[in-house]
Amino acid sequence: MNVVILGGGTVGTSICKVLGTRHNVCLVDPDPEVLEIAGEQLDVQTVKGSACDAVTLFQAGVQSADLVLAVTSKDEINLVGASLSKSMGARRSVARVFNPSYLDSSTFDYRRHFGIDRLLSLERLTALELARSVRMRGMFVLENLVRGGVEVQEVAVETDSPAAGVPLKDLKFGPGVLAGVFVTDGVARIPNGDDSANAGDTVTLIGTGDSLEEAAKRFRKNVPPKLLVVIGGGGEIGFNLARVLSKGRFSVVLMEGDRDRCEELATKLDSVTVLHGDVTRRSEMEEARVDRADVFVAATGRDEDNIVCGVEARELGAGRIMSVVRRPDYANVLGKLGIDVAVSPRSVMTRQVDGMVQTGAVLARFDVAGNQAAVYEVEVREGCDLIGVPLKDAGFRGALVAAIDREEFVRVPGAEDMLKAGDVAVVLAQADAAEGVLERFEAQG
């Protein structure tokens, strides 16, 4: 596959590292020093110049690229570079953007205007990755699919819980929630409306929006106590993390050093306690009651601050420590300092990119129900013979389409809904049925 990467910062070079050995990669950057290092250390070609310059892009070969990734540190350069590349013939172009307004299409649809296939916010994706780590407890799976549009959660059915023994059709989950797999005595099945889960079973729930947590709660007898999460830093990552967590069973405290930003955060986040405080000062950390926190997440814009306040939080007695660390060089010392989880935007990005360079229709896969079933993100391509067929007539056995991501809107489909070219389908399949079902997405009519 031919891949062109615009921007040789930490994100761009780490993508080069991952893809360089397996694909033809060309890196574009205006800085000769960056290119020299990349050329020496990574298995990539380099072109010096601006990502917005058509001549540079021609030299880099965007016209025959399967994928162009615009990942400079400037949103506007990424938008223009990805847009030009697409017009010049790239099969797929993706731009990294920071400004949340560019991701929102309600007033103006930037993605469509620029003709870009996908806009990605590393800050949002990083927040989702952190949220996943915060919420994951015990051995139960929790996954985010289609950039957080769909969540998968497993829950063990407790004796005397409200939903135990009740037929699925009578449970009336919110719109957007689907009970995907029941596991009884180690045997998985995709349930129908008359099926019920009993104490001791495991249920895999798939859903969009906030209703998943509500549904999961009904399989538990006692609602577990709310965990206290203190987030240091109210930038895009901290804000998105606070928003995701505040919907679930968490008390969230968000510390931010800038007073104006605090006010803004407080109006946007109703159920989050926003504190004006500096995470690098011990006294202010104490005031935020970091000592009582079950989880402390360091999410400021500076790696060094995130490491230092992570260590401080550990000293104060916080339960688990998570830090956002952008520079790869720090990875070694984190464990030694007592930081339990480090999440870096660049590793989050490389995972996304992995999906984009798949040659088949399957973009991602997550095992659920003790590996007896899996959830797949599958691209619906032009010519696939499932297009235009109502899902109820598609004849899936041991599998179902749990969600459809169309035009960046994710929804749980009904029986009459049909797939369209360009959709990403979230498919849940039992292990024994997966191969047959996935083949149908590969088939070209």
Partner 1 sequence: MNLLDFVCTDAIVPDLKPAGKEDAIAQLVASLKDAGKLPGDEEPAIVAAVLKREELGSTGIGNGVAVPHTKHPAVDRLTATVGLVHEGIDFASLDGEPVYIMILLVSPPENTRDHLRALETVSRHLKNDTFCNFLKQAKTADEVVELLREADEGHIS
* Residues lying near partner 1 in the complex (CB under 8 A): 100-101, 104-109, 112-113, 175-176, 209, 267-268, 406-409, 411
Q: Shortest distance, CB of residue 268 to partner 1, whole angstroms?
A: 5
Q: Shortest distance, CB of residue 267 to partner 1, whole angstroms?
A: 6
**Can you tell me the distance from the alpha carbon of 170 to that of 196, in angstroms, rounded to the nearest whole number?**
9
Q: Shortest distance, CB of residue 146 to partner 1, whole angstroms?
A: 15
Non-local (6+) Cβ contacts of 288 within 8 A are: 230, 253, 255, 275, 277
Torsion sign over Cα 37, 38, 42, 45: negative
SS3 content of the chain, % helix, strand, coil (to 5): 35, 30, 35
Backbone angles phi, psi at 74, to 5 degrees: -110, 120
Listed in sequence order, the DSSP H helices in 173-302 are 211-217, 236-246, 259-268, 282-287
**Can you tell me the distance from the alpha carbon of 225 to that of 202, in angstroms, rounded to the nearest whole number?**
21
The torsion of the CA quartet 15, 17, 23, 25, rounded to 10 degrees, works out to: 70
Q: Shortest distance, CB of residue 112 to partner 1, whole angstroms?
A: 6
Q: Residues 169, 197: contact at Cβ < 8 Å?
A: no
Identify each DSSP E strand in 113-190 by its residue range.
118-120, 142-145, 150-156, 177-184, 187-189
Six token digits for residue 76: 């506007």
User: For partner 1, which is the closer residue by CB, 268 or 397?
Assistant: 268
Q: Label residue 133 exposed, middle or buried (CB < 10 Å: 0-12, 13-18, 19+).
A: middle
Q: What own/partner pairs with CB < 8 Å and gap ≥ 24 does 249-258 have?
A: 249/213, 249/223, 249/224, 250/134, 250/226, 251/226, 251/227, 253/228, 253/229, 253/288, 253/289, 253/293, 255/230, 255/231, 255/279, 255/284, 255/285, 255/288, 258/234
User: For partner 1, which is the closer residue by CB, 278 or 408?
Assistant: 408
Q: Shortest distance, CB of residue 105 to partner 1, whole angstroms?
A: 5
Closest CA to 4 of 36, 20, 21, 28: 28
Closest CA to 180 of 149, 201, 210, 158: 201
DSSP-derived secondary structure letter, 224: P
Residue with tokens 């060089």: 329
Q: Shortest distance, CB of residue 109 to partner 1, whole angstroms?
A: 5
Q: Shortest distance, CB of residue 414 to partner 1, whole angstroms?
A: 9
Closest CA to 438 of 382, 398, 392: 398
Q: Shortest distance, CB of residue 407 to partner 1, whole angstroms?
A: 5
Q: Shortest distance, CB of residue 129 to partner 1, whole angstroms?
A: 21
